[in-house]
Amino acid sequence: MSEKRKFGFETRMLHAGHIPDSYSGSRAVPIFQTAGYVFDSPEYAASLFELKQYGNIYTRISNPTTAVFEERIASLEGGTGALATASGQAAQLITMMTLMNPGDEFVASSHLYGGTYTQFEHTFKKLSIKVIFVDPTDIKHWEKAITPKTRLLYGETIGNPQGSVFDFEGVSALAKANSIPLVIDNTLASPYLCRPLEWGADIVLHSATKFLNGHGTSIAGVIVDSGKFDFSNYPAISSPSIPYHNLNFFETFGHYGFLMKARCETLRDTGASISPFNSFLLIQGLETLSLRMERHVSNALNVAKFLVDHPMVDWVNYPGLPDHPHYERTKKYLSKGAGSVFAFGLKTGNNSAREAGKKFIENLELFSHVANLGDCKSMVIHPASTTHQQLSDLELQRANVKPELIRLSIGLETTEDLLWDLEQAFHAISR
């Protein structure tokens, strides 16, 4: 894109990272559905394998369609570059495996997506990487959990089901004071609503399955690096890489060192790569990101207000409402809106909360009962009877998932139709 002008967010959603090629003139980004790439000469091939030149070797490592998605999301988040992955879970795994060695620790907010929590708690144990979870709402908990083995701090822009908004200024100052990076999962906000790199985060990642794709058509993830963190004394990035004949990724690639190591070692070796077709779908999604997010937010705010006033609703955890404990943070970090995923509690009277939740969902007509979010279509889930059904009431309490909790992902439908649907489902369970 032109060096002469700093283009706006919407322009970059449509153009960043792509110039139509003179060979085909294709206006849309072509899908390079190929596994390998022809090398011009043996010398050229050798220089690629030694990382002496940038170029495509094999789609497990890089691909031209995927590269457009990567550059576009890096531009939207304000980063130096990006790495796309097969899923959000893979984005987390690749980030953490690149930044840590066996025996290292990290501190994470406990207000996390369930799958992330389990990956950190159980699968990372097999890699001898230890997570310490903290209640993220008080900076003192973070301070206390940091030890000399702590390699990074981790949180989500909007944590569920509490609807907590991340304390970017407090936690990023703490990360800086300890010379460790702050890694943020920005899935629920998207770069349209919040850009964590502008608030002191060093690395941002996404489940691109959600709002970035926007249409529920692929599983994908992405990692964006600010390029600003000083990795010169950071063991996992600045120590010699044995497979690359002692290459030092930080000395060789500077502000691009983390991403090069993530791509050329961790992605290459774990194989959690995105397919070019899914990158194409993500590029389509990004083209309308701002428009969708505006509508998601306005629908979510209307639904949240409707629920607050409803006699069958006990509580609503939407950080876009003025009485949410983090409303001040919302105004600061999420000035365009608090997203469209939030939880509320059903007032169930004498009925079992688990049964009432089930019945409520059964009676919804427009809201789809789905384990996904961030789709154009509205979605609902009742954790106590689905994702968390094996937990006892006491265990649910410990996991902060109340049996009456219903989670909504508000889509782009006609607002009044969503309110109608909720009202008729409330009516059905009150009978």
Nearer to ligand PLP, 210 or 402 (CB): 210
Contact between 340 and 352 (Cβ < 8 Å): no
Interaction between residue 383 and ligand PLP (CB under 6 A): no
Of all residues in the shown chain, the one whose CB is closest to ligand PLP is 88
Which residue stretch of 70-78, 85-93, 266-274, 394-402 sits at the interface with ligand PLP (rule: CB under 6 A)? Answer: 85-93
Out of 95, 187, 340, 409, the only residue in the binding site for ligand PLP (CB under 6 A) is 187
Nearer to ligand PLP, 88 or 181 (CB): 88
The C-alpha atoms of residue 77 and residue 72 are separated, in whole angstroms, by 9
Interaction between residue 224 and ligand PLP (CB under 6 A): no
DSSP code string of 348-388: -TTS-HHHHHHHHHHH-SSSEE-S--S-SS-EEE-GGGTTT
Out of 63, 66, 75, 207, the only residue in the binding site for ligand PLP (CB under 6 A) is 207
Interaction between residue 343 and ligand PLP (CB under 6 A): no
Which residue stretch of 11-19, 58-66, 82-90, 102-110 sits at the interface with ligand PLP (rule: CB under 6 A)? Answer: 82-90
The C-alpha atoms of residue 223 and residue 88 are separated, in whole angstroms, by 9
The C-alpha atoms of residue 411 and residue 418 are separated, in whole angstroms, by 9
Q: What residues contact 261, with CB distance under 8 A and at least 6 apart?
A: 98, 236, 237, 241, 249
Closest CA to 407 of 323, 324, 326, 300: 300
In sequence order, the β-bridge partners of residue 164 are 159
Count of residues that interact with ligand PLP, criterion CB under 6 A: 15
Q: Is the peptide bond before 30 cis (omega within 30 degrees of 0)?
A: no
Which residue stretch of 57-65, 141-149, 202-210, 244-252 sits at the interface with ligand PLP (rule: CB under 6 A)? Answer: 202-210
Query: Which pair of structure tokens corresponds to residue 397?
Result: 């309490």
Nearer to ligand PLP, 146 or 281 (CB): 281
- Draw the binding track, 147-176, toward ligand PLP (x: CB under 6 A; -: no contact): ---------x--------------------
The least CB distance from residue 377 to ligand PLP, in Å, is: 16
In sequence order, the β-bridge partners of residue 133 are 108
Query: Which pair of structure tokens corresponds to residue 358?
Result: 């089930």
Nearer to ligand PLP, 90 or 353 (CB): 90
The least CB distance from residue 339 to ligand PLP, in Å, is: 10
Burial environment of residue 3 by CB neighbours within 10 A (0 to 12, 13 to 18, 19 or more): exposed
Query: Which pair of structure tokens corresponds to residue 333?
Result: 């970090």
Interaction between residue 89 and ligand PLP (CB under 6 A): yes
The least CB distance from residue 234 to ligand PLP, in Å, is: 24
Out of 94, 175, 219, 281, the only residue in the binding site for ligand PLP (CB under 6 A) is 219
Q: What is the DSSP letter of 247?
A: B
The C-alpha atoms of residue 377 and residue 392 are separated, in whole angstroms, by 31
The least CB distance from residue 63 to ligand PLP, in Å, is: 19
Nearer to ligand PLP, 146 or 289 (CB): 289
The C-alpha atoms of residue 304 and residue 302 are separated, in whole angstroms, by 5
Interaction between residue 193 and ligand PLP (CB under 6 A): no
Out of 129, 165, 188, 301, the only residue in the binding site for ligand PLP (CB under 6 A) is 188
Which residues from 94-123 bind ligand PLP, rule CB under 6 A? 113, 115-116
Contact between 404 and 346 (Cβ < 8 Å): yes
Angle, in degrees to the nearest 10, between helices 276-287 and 289-308: 70
Contact between 225 and 237 (Cβ < 8 Å): no
Out of 214, 221, 319, 337, the only residue in the binding site for ligand PLP (CB under 6 A) is 221
The least CB distance from residue 92 to ligand PLP, in Å, is: 7
Neighbours of 66 (CB within 10 A): 28
The least CB distance from residue 342 to ligand PLP, in Å, is: 13
Residues that bind ligand PLP (CB under 6 A): 87-89, 113, 115-116, 156, 185, 187-188, 207, 209-210, 219, 221
